Structure 1
Amino acid sequence: MNTFVLDRVKTIKTLNQIAESGLKVFDKEHFAIDNESENPDAIIVRSFNMHSLEFGDRLKAIARAGAGVNNIPVKKCTEQGIAVFNTPGANANAVKEMVLTSLMASSRNLFAGVQWTKALAGKGEDIPKLVEAGKKQFVGKEVKGKTLGVIGLGAIGALVANDALSLDMDVIGFDPFISVDTAWNLSRSVQRAMTIEQLFAEADYITVHVPLTDDTKGMFNKQTFNLMKEGVHILNFSRGELVNETDMAAALESGLVGKYITDFPNENVLKMKNAVPIPHLGASTKESEENCAFMASRQLKIFLETGNIQNSVNFPNASLPYTGKRRITAFHENIPNMVGQITQAISGYNLNIADMLNRSRGDFAYTMIDIDNKINGETVPGLIERINEIDGIVRTRVI
């Protein structure tokens, strides 16, 4: 329930190496990158685990330069009125390329073949003969004409589905929560699975692109493996916990699952037969890191300067044209008469409301109010304190 002075330089802290090209969004007149700050205005993070951190009273926002936010204590941030942003789509092309590369390479046994060939070092002139004699153990299969099942048709899944069609694959997709924007970008040749069980039954290859939730944790398990084609290849570039690893190991051993390609290796995965462990390279491209850094920085800058919100995982999206007037923002519980009480408090100080916006998300809501009057300093004395006295207010800010 703190307020903040508009004109002081805002401090940005990074908890991982963030591409400099993205950080250039923050002009030096109004922002300072200070990684030693114990109480920054905003934080940009990639994979750093923030769950044990305590947050200072100045912290207004955290931006994850990537899509997943499992390393951020989102519930705690919501309770403290801290907006959490992510960058959906910024690394989508990088992950898509890795998925399709891995799909084809594993289907042709390329990884195992290269590893075997490198082990021939020292055989001298016998290497060509040994290669010809040994290559039959790596005979693979073509992906053309096979069916790819795509679970989750967000930014990454839609790109994978569309490009797999160009490989002459049949593509079937399942996503009960597909957005309108994604639907417009998805090829009409992608078949729609009415149930995930239908996708399991029809696919020769399955790639998953969903967040880790209580509902998706362990979604690949003994029961679901039994619904799939024998020898199916499963690609996991989303989260390791989507797979029950004990059940996966047994399915690989029996041949029920032919290959498990994952970007999340651990001790269990490394011991699995026919598992292809990739060292978390899905989004590891120079272009992806720059895109994520730029998008995260830009969203933070807009929020700090205008209060407008895009791609927050705990605040509602909200955009009100910023004209330079004093703006009051309030993050509060989504309960009746909150906006009425806030506007009543403002009118009690003879201030005219020029514009306003209220958006809700679940149990919380966000209100922006522009004041028409010229106000010296942050606002008239006592106004924000009066708003903060309203039951249900989590945090206010003056811009």
Structure 2
Amino acid sequence: MKVLISDSLSERGVEILKKAGLTVDVKTKLTPAQLIEEIPNYDALIIRSGTKVTKDVIAAAKNLKVVGRAGSGLDNVDLPAATKRGIVVMNTPGGNTVTTAEHSFSLLMSMARQVPQANASVKSGKWEKNKFMGMEIFNKTIGIVGIGQIGSYVAKLAQGANMTVIAYDAFLSPENAKKLGVEVVDLETLFSRADIITLHVPLTTETKHMINAAAIQKMKHGVRIINCARGGIVNETDLFDALKSGKVAAAAFDVFEKEPVDPANPLLTLDNFICTPHLGAATTEAQENVAWAIAEQVVDFLVRGVVRYAVNLPSVPADLLPKVQPYVELAEKIGAFLGQTVEGGIEKVTIEYHGEAGDLQTSPITLAAIKGLLAPILEETVNYVNAPSIAKERGIEVNEAKSSDAGNFSSLISIKVKAGGQTKVVSGSIFNKKEPRFVEIDGMSLEVVPEGHMLYLFNEDKPGVIGGLGQLLAKNQINISRMQLGRERAGGKAISVVGIDSVVSPEVLKDLKSLPHVLSVKRVKL
């Protein structure tokens, strides 16, 4: 079998592949057209962040069985297209945890003491000792947005420097926060209290431009901001204005919304902005670790038929996969919906199997539900292997239950999530043997096609709500693809799940929340 390595990979990884009897070609810096031309010849593709595995690449990959990412992020892989073609996509979660956390902290120190600026000054022949006044981090408050694997390690480093650590994380329970020695706060409190803010969340519809002009206004005057997570979490235009005005004293980035960064990006003109070219995972140790790991995983899959750290395929015997796969997809979509709509730290998850669903091999379905639930929030890539351990680390209790009664359906899956003192329930079934549908949300019956961009509204059952929603979306050129409604009783509480053809901006979301009789609005991407 043939393996194509299209990004630079440690020689140790190449040796592992060759020793297993695989034919290995290393062809880096291929253009998209060249990759499409080459890919039909290969059974496996190993990448880092440089190669873009688009739907066109996947369509041309006639023999491709697996894509292996040496690293955790999969922004550069079209997962739905790969899954549809039956191509396994795997990564190496955790391999970059320490190195990315250390890089974040090195940027913190460099920013606090103006090290890059002072270095450039001395090398230009100057000795401006009084120009580069620094800031001690001792006893300062650091706000960590996202306290997963990387954020947790940053917390340890900060605690070692005698900093006060506060954190925002929708999934972190108070008990687990206590173990980490951090104080969990809401986002607005973090903004108002932190001297330094560091970001460790994934780029989602909810986190895109979460640091914007409105958020910065809630921060301390002279706050410092670090982003080693994903480009796009910070609105770069708004940050530029805040750095110019002094509201933000300094910022340090390892990632940008557009990479490689445009040399004309205004941020690069500012003395109080420092940056690196996406070096978070760029240590010898980290690259050795991920190269060795992904090579071993690809060998296991191609030579031994063993799947490890797949992000789009649970471990299911081949003969059972056709029957189980629709339920795996359904459970993951229910989990993802709940992960984007619940509020507060998740304490308990119960997956209930009713009717024929209870006769299936339920373990991969439960894994898919937990993966779907955790993936929208955590900065590390969650997969079918590490989802249970991540849930356990965060103090989330996971239970299964079975019942022969599926009500009006032959089979039904219900997922209950207890979070923030409340319980939210979503139930779903399979239509036409392969099509997942949500059929009940919090006791309200409806039929939802779980795909694409959606809005989830909780509102009072009063005239005008749907009309107001439609007018506001039309005004902003957002087309409604489908709409499903449910209510507890006439005049009581009601829900609407609205499929839309484009992403709703934070400004439009704010306007939606202010409509009469609307109690809450959430953006969801499935």
**TM-score by structure 2 length?**
0.56
In the alignment, what sits opposite 1:382?
A: none
Q: Give the CA deviation at 1:242.
A: 1.0
User: Equivalent residues in 2 for 1:125-140 (5 A)?
Assistant: 131=127, 134-140=128-134
Cα contact 1:162–1:190 (8 A) shared by 2: no
* Identical counterparts, % of pairs: 34
In the alignment, what sits opposite 2:47?
A: 45
In the alignment, what sits opposite 2:104?
A: 99
In the alignment, what sits opposite 1:170?
A: 164
Q: What is the rounded CA distance, in whole Å, between the counterparts of 2:4 and 2:103 in structure 1?
A: 30
**TM-score by structure 1 length?**
0.72
Sort the Cα spacing of 1:30 and 1:328 in 2 relative to 1 into closer, same or farther, 3 A.
Answer: farther
Is residue 2:234 matched to residue 1:243?
Answer: yes
Q: Give the CA deviation at 1:147.
A: 0.8
Sort the Cα spacing of 1:272 and 1:79 in 2 relative to 1 into closer, same or farther, 3 A.
Answer: farther
Cα contact 2:211–2:234 (8 A) shared by 1: yes
In the alignment, what sits opposite 2:358?
A: none
Is residue 2:91 matched to residue 1:86?
Answer: yes
Aligned partner of residue 206 in structure 1, secondary structure: strand
1:113 equivalent among 98, 103, 118: 118
Cα contact 2:142–2:165 (8 A) shared by 1: yes
Is residue 2:71 matched to residue 1:77?
Answer: no
Sort the Cα spacing of 1:92 and 1:313 in 2 relative to 1 into closer, same or farther, 3 A.
Answer: same
Aligned partner of residue 181 in structure 2, secondary structure: coil
Q: Give the CA deviation at 1:80.
A: 1.4
User: Equivalent residues in 2 for 1:327-346 (5 A)?
Assistant: 328=319, 330=321, 334-335=325-326
Segments of 4+ moved more than 6 angstroms: none
Q: Give the CA deviation at 1:167.
A: 0.5
2:301 equivalent among 300, 303, 317: 303
Q: Give the CA deviation at 1:332.
A: 6.8
Q: Which moved more, 1:38-47 or 1:216-225?
A: 38-47
Q: What is the rounded CA distance, in whole Å, between the counterparts of 2:239 and 2:322 in structure 1?
A: 44
In the alignment, what sits opposite 1:65?
A: 70
1:216 partner amino acid: T
Cα contact 1:48–1:71 (8 A) shared by 2: yes
Q: Give the CA deviation at 1:142.
A: 0.6
Sort the Cα spacing of 1:157 and 1:112 in 2 relative to 1 into closer, same or farther, 3 A.
Answer: same
User: Equivalent residues in 2 for 1:92-241 (5 A)?
Assistant: 92-120=97-125, 131=127, 134-178=128-172, 183=176, 187-193=179-185, 195-241=186-232
In the alignment, what sits opposite 1:256?
A: 247
Q: Give the CA deviation at 1:255.
A: 0.9
Q: Give the CA deviation at 1:357.
A: 7.4
2:7 equivalent among 4, 16, 35: 16
Aligned partner of residue 136 in structure 1, secondary structure: coil
Larger RCO, structures 1/2 (Cα 8 Å, 6+ apart): 1
1:72 partner amino acid: V
- The number of equivalent residue pairs is 323
Q: Which moved more, 1:245-254 or 1:275-284?
A: 275-284
Aligned partner of residue 295 in structure 1, secondary structure: helix
Sort the Cα spacing of 1:357 and 1:336 in 2 relative to 1 into closer, same or farther, 3 A.
Answer: closer
RMSD of aligned alpha carbons = 3.2
Q: Which moved more, 1:257-266 or 1:239-248?
A: 257-266
Q: What is the rounded CA distance, in whole Å, between the counterparts of 2:322 and 2:249 in structure 1?
A: 50
Q: What is the rounded CA distance, in whole Å, between the counterparts of 1:274 and 1:331 in structure 2?
A: 56
Q: Give the CA deviation at 1:28.
A: 3.7
1:99 partner amino acid: S
Q: What is the rounded CA distance, in whole Å, between the counterparts of 2:74 and 2:322 in structure 1?
A: 21
Q: What is the rounded CA distance, in whole Å, between the counterparts of 1:331 and 1:39 in structure 2?
A: 27
Is residue 2:290 matched to residue 1:292?
Answer: yes
Q: What is the rounded CA distance, in whole Å, between the counterparts of 1:222 and 1:58 in structure 2?
A: 48
Q: Give the CA deviation at 1:206.
A: 0.9
Aligned partner of residue 95 in structure 1, secondary structure: helix
Q: Give the CA deviation at 1:171.
A: 0.8
Q: Give the CA deviation at 1:245.
A: 1.0
Q: Which moved more, 1:21-30 or 1:294-303?
A: 21-30
Q: What is the rounded CA distance, in whole Å, between the counterparts of 1:145 and 1:48 in structure 2?
A: 43
In the alignment, what sits opposite 2:429?
A: none
Q: CA offsets per residue over residues 341-363 of structure 1, 9 Å max, x none?
A: xxxxxxxxxxxxxxx77613369
Sort the Cα spacing of 1:357 and 1:39 in 2 relative to 1 into closer, same or farther, 3 A.
Answer: farther
Cα contact 1:39–1:55 (8 A) shared by 2: no
Q: Give the CA deviation at 1:296.
A: 1.6
Q: What is the rounded CA distance, in whole Å, between the counterparts of 1:139 and 1:50 in structure 2?
A: 46
Q: Which moved more, 1:105-114 or 1:265-274?
A: 265-274
Q: Which protein has the larger Cα radius of gyration, Structure 1 or Structure 2?
A: 1
Q: What is the rounded CA distance, in whole Å, between the counterparts of 1:247 and 1:15 in structure 2?
A: 36
Q: Give the CA deviation at 1:329.
A: 6.6
Q: What is the rounded CA distance, in whole Å, between the counterparts of 1:42 and 1:73 in structure 2?
A: 16
In the alignment, what sits opposite 1:4?
A: none
Cα contact 1:149–1:171 (8 A) shared by 2: yes
1:189 partner amino acid: G
Q: Give the CA deviation at 1:273.
A: 5.0
Aligned partner of residue 26 in structure 1, secondary structure: helix
In the alignment, what sits opposite 2:388?
A: none
Q: What is the rounded CA distance, in whole Å, between the counterparts of 1:43 and 1:333 in structure 2?
A: 27
Sort the Cα spacing of 1:213 and 1:250 in 2 relative to 1 into closer, same or farther, 3 A.
Answer: same
1:286 partner amino acid: T
User: Equivalent residues in 2 for 1:29-40 (5 A)?
Assistant: 29-35=20-26, 38-40=40-42
Cα contact 2:152–2:180 (8 A) shared by 1: no
